[in-house]
C-alpha cells in the first residue's frame, strides 16, 4: 500500500486535542504545591505529593499502549481511551481545587486532594498517550518529524495558556486570596476554564479524525511481512534491559540529574519566590498567593525560552555539545534565583532554565536512536520513559530531607536543582554514541 501524505490540517487535527490536555497538565504542574500548601501541608512534605505524577505515568502509559493495540471498535482504536481520560480529567478538575471548600478537616481535605491528584494524573496520562500513538499509526515516515513538530507546538501553546490562567484571572479582578485552607477563586476558575477547553479540544479531534480500520492499518504498516520479526521482538523487558546498549544507561544518567532538577522546580518555586520576593511564608497571605500566580508567569517564560532555544539547538554541529551547553545554561538559571529578589529579573533565570528544558525534550532521543537498531526500537523507547519517571520519584522521596539539609529555605532547593543540571552536563560527555 502506498503511504499517502497528510495535509497540514490533517496533522493539526490529529494533535489539536493535545492543546487542551497540556493546559490541564500545566495547571497541575504550576499549582499543585500551591494547593497543598494552602490546604496546610508542611513544606518538608510537599515533595511527597509529586511522587504521584511520574508514578502514574509509568503505570498508565504502557497499559494504554498495550490495551489500545488490541482495541478495534466503532469509535476507533485509540480514541476510546482519549475520551475516557478526558472525561475523568474534566470531572477531577472541577473537584480538586475545591478540596478546601467542602468543610473537611485539614487531614481530610489533603486526603481528598491526594485522591483527586491521583485521578487527575491517571486521566491526563490516559488522554496524552493516544495523541502520540495516533501520529505513529496514521502518519508516514517522511512526515512524522513534521507531525510531531506540530504536536510540540500545540503542547507548548497549551502550557503557556495553562501557566498564565491564574495570573490573568487575578488581573481581571477575580479574588486571589481566600480564608485559611481555602483555594482562591483565581485558581478554581482556572481549573474550570481549563476543563472546558480540554473537553472541547478533545471532541474536535475526535470529530475530525477517522482512525484506520484493521485491514487498512495492516496494509499501511505492512504488518503481514513483519509478522516473524514482530514475534521475535516480543522478548521480555528484562531481557531487553540486560542487552541494552551502553548509551541507554549513559543517557539515563544524564536524564537522572535533569529530571531531579525540574521536579524540584515544580515543587519549590512557589515557596521559594514567596520567601525571597514577597518575603512571606504565610500560605494564607496575599503575598504567597501573588507568588503562586507569578509561578505561572515564570513557567510561561520558561516555555518561551524553550521555544526560542529550540531554534538555536540545530546550529550546534555536535549534538552532545549542544546538549551540555543547554544544561549548563539551565543550571545557571536555577542557581541565579537565590540572588534575585525582583520578580521581573527572574525572567532571566527562567529563560535560561528554558534552554535546559528544550534540550531535555529532544537531545536524549536523538542520541539514543543513533545507538539502536530498528529491532525493538519501540520497546526501548518505552523503557526509556522510566529514565524520566524514576528520577522524579527518587527526588520526591528525598526532597524533604534535602530541604532540611539546606536550612529549610525552599529557594535553596532551586540551587540544588542547578547543581543537579550541571552534573548532568558533565555526564553528557560520558555518552558513547556514533556521534561523538
Torsion sign (Cα): 370, 373, 376, 378: positive
How far, in Å, CA of 205 to CA of 198, rounded?
Answer: 11
Torsion sign (Cα): 72, 75, 76, 77: negative
- For residue 211, the 8-state DSSP code is P
pLDDT of residue 225: 46
pLDDT of residue 374: 44
Q: State the angle between helix axes of 246-276 and 346-369 in degrees (0 to 180), rounded to the nearest 10.
A: 170
How far, in Å, CA of 67 to CA of 69, rounded?
Answer: 5
- For residue 212, the 8-state DSSP code is P
Cβ partners under 8 Å of residue 49, min gap 6 = 32, 33, 36, 41, 114, 117, 396
The x, y and z cell numbers of residue 404, run together, are: 532540611
Q: Where are the domains of the chain?
A: 1-221, 232-436
Topology agreement, domain 1-221 and domain 232-436: yes
Q: Are 134 and 211 in contact (CB under 8 A)?
A: yes
CATH classification for the domain delimited by 232-436, as one of 1.20.1250.20, 3.40.50.2300, 3.30.56.10, 3.90.1150.10:
1.20.1250.20
How far, in Å, CA of 371 to CA of 245, rounded?
Answer: 7
The x, y and z cell numbers of residue 424, run together, are: 548532568
Domain 1-221 falls in which CATH fold?
Growth Hormone; Chain: A; (1.20.1250)
How far, in Å, CA of 36 to CA of 46, rounded?
Answer: 7
Residue with cell 497540514: 8
76 backbone dihedrals φ, ψ, rounded to 5°: 120, -165
Q: Let me know if 366 is exposed, middle or buried by CB neighbors in 10 A (0-12, 13-18, 19+).
A: middle
pLDDT of residue 278: 95
pLDDT of residue 429: 92
Distances (CA, A) of 172 to 5, 182, 185: 45, 20, 12
Angle of CA points 229, 379, 24, to nearest 5° = 140
How far, in Å, CA of 48 to CA of 38, rounded?
Answer: 15
Q: Give pTM, 2 decimals.
A: 0.75
Return the closest-CA partner of residue 355 out of 387, 340, 333, 388. 333
User: What is the per-residue pLDDT across 209-248, written as a single tens digit (0 to 9) for each?
Assistant: 888 777 777 777 676 645 434 544 455 567 767 777 888 8
Residue 79 CA to its chain's centroid (Å):
21
- 3-state percent breakdown (helix, strand, coil) of the chain, nearest 5: 80, 0, 20
Digits of tens for pLDDT over the chain (436 positions)? 566 888 889 889 988 998 999 899 889 888 888 888 888 888 888 788 778 778 877 777 667 767 777 777 777 788 888 899 899 999 999 998 888 888 888 888 888 888 888 888 888 878 887 877 777 777 776 776 577 667 777 887 888 899 899 989 999 999 888 888 889 999 999 999 999 999 999 999 989 988 877 777 777 767 664 543 454 445 556 776 777 788 889 999 999 999 999 999 999 999 999 999 999 988 888 899 899 889 989 999 998 998 888 888 878 888 889 999 999 999 999 999 999 999 999 999 999 999 999 888 777 866 776 676 544 544 566 677 788 889 999 999 999 999 999 999 999 999 999 999 999 999 999 988 765 4
Please state, as a whole number, how many other Cβ atoms lie within 10 Å of the Cβ of residue 123.
25
Q: Are 77 and 71 in contact (CB under 8 A)?
A: yes
Amino acid at each position: 500500500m502506498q503511504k499517502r501524505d497528510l495535509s497540514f490540517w490533517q496533522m493539526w487535527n490529529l494533535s489539536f486535542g493535545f492543546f487542551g490536555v497540556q493546559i490541564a497538565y500545566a495547571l497541575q504542574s504550576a499549582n499543585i504545591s500551591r494547593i497543598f500548601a494552602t490546604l496546610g501541608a508542611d513544606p518538608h512534605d510537599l515533595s511527597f505529593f509529586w511522587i504521584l505524577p511520574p508514578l502514574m505515568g509509568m503505570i498508565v502509559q504502557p497499559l494504554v499502549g498495550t490495551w489500545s493495540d488490541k482495541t478495534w471498535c466503532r469509535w476507533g482504536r485509540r480514541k476510546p481511551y482519549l475520551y475516557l481520560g478526558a472525561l475523568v480529567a474534566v470531572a477531577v478538575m472541577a473537584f480538586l481545587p475545591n478540596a478546601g471548600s467542602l468543610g473537611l478537616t485539614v487531614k481530610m481535605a489533603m486526603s481528598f486532594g491526594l485522591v483527586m491528584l491521583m485521578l487527575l494524573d491517571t486521566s491526563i496520562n490516559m488522554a496524552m498517550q493516544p495523541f502520540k500513538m495516533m501520529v505513529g499509526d496514521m502518519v508516514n515516515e517522511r512526515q512524522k518529524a513534521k507531525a510531531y513538530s506540530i504536536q510540540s507546538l500545540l503542547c507548548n501553546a497549551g502550557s503557556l495558556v495553562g501557566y498564565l490562567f491564574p495570573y490573568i484571572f487575578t488581573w481581571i479582578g477575580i479574588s486571589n486570596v481566600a480564608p485559611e485552607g481555602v483555594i482562591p477563586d483565581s485558581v478554581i476558575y482556572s481549573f474550570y476554564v481549563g476543563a472546558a477547553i480540554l473537553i472541547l479540544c478533545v471532541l474536535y479531534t475526535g470529530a475530525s479524525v477517522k482512525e484506520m480500520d484493521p485491514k487498512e492499518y495492516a496494509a499501511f504498516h505492512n504488518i503481514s511481512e513483519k509478522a516473524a520479526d514482530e514475534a521475535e521482538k516480543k522478548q521480555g523487558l528484562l531481557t531487553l534491559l540486560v542487552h541494552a546498549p551502553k548509551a541507554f544507561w549513559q543517557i539515563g544518567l544524564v536524564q537522572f540529574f535533569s529530571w531531579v532538577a525540574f521536579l524540584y522546580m515544580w515543587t519549590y518555586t512557589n515557596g521559594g519566590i514567596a520567601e525571597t520576593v514577597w518575603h512571606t511564608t504565610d500560605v494564607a497571605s496575599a503575598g504567597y498567593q501573588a507568588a503562586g500566580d507569578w509561578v505561572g508567569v515564570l513557567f510561561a517564560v520558561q516555555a518561551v525560552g524553550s521555544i526560542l532555544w529550540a531554534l538555536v539547538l540545530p546550529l550546534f554541529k555536535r549534538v552532545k555539545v549542544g546538549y551540555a551547553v543547554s544544561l549548563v545554561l539551565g543550571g545557571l538559571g536555577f542557581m541565579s534565583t537565590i540572588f534575585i529578589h525582583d520578580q521581573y529579573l527572574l525572567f532571566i533565570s527562567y529563560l535560561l532554565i528554558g534552554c535546559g528544558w528544550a534540550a531535555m525534550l529532544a537531545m536524549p532521543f536523538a542520541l539514543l536512536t543513533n545507538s539502536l537498531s530498528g529491532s525493538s526500537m519501540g520497546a526501548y523507547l518505552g523503557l526509556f520513559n522510566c529514565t524520566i519517571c524514576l528520577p522524579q520519584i527518587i527526588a520526591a522521596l528525598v526532597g524533604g530531607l534535602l530541604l532540611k539539609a539546606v536550612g529549610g529555605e525552599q529557594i535553596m532547593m532551586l540551587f540544588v536543582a542547578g547543581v543537579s543540571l550541571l552534573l548532568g552536563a558533565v555526564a553528557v560527555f560520558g555518552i558513547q554514541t556514533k556521534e561523538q
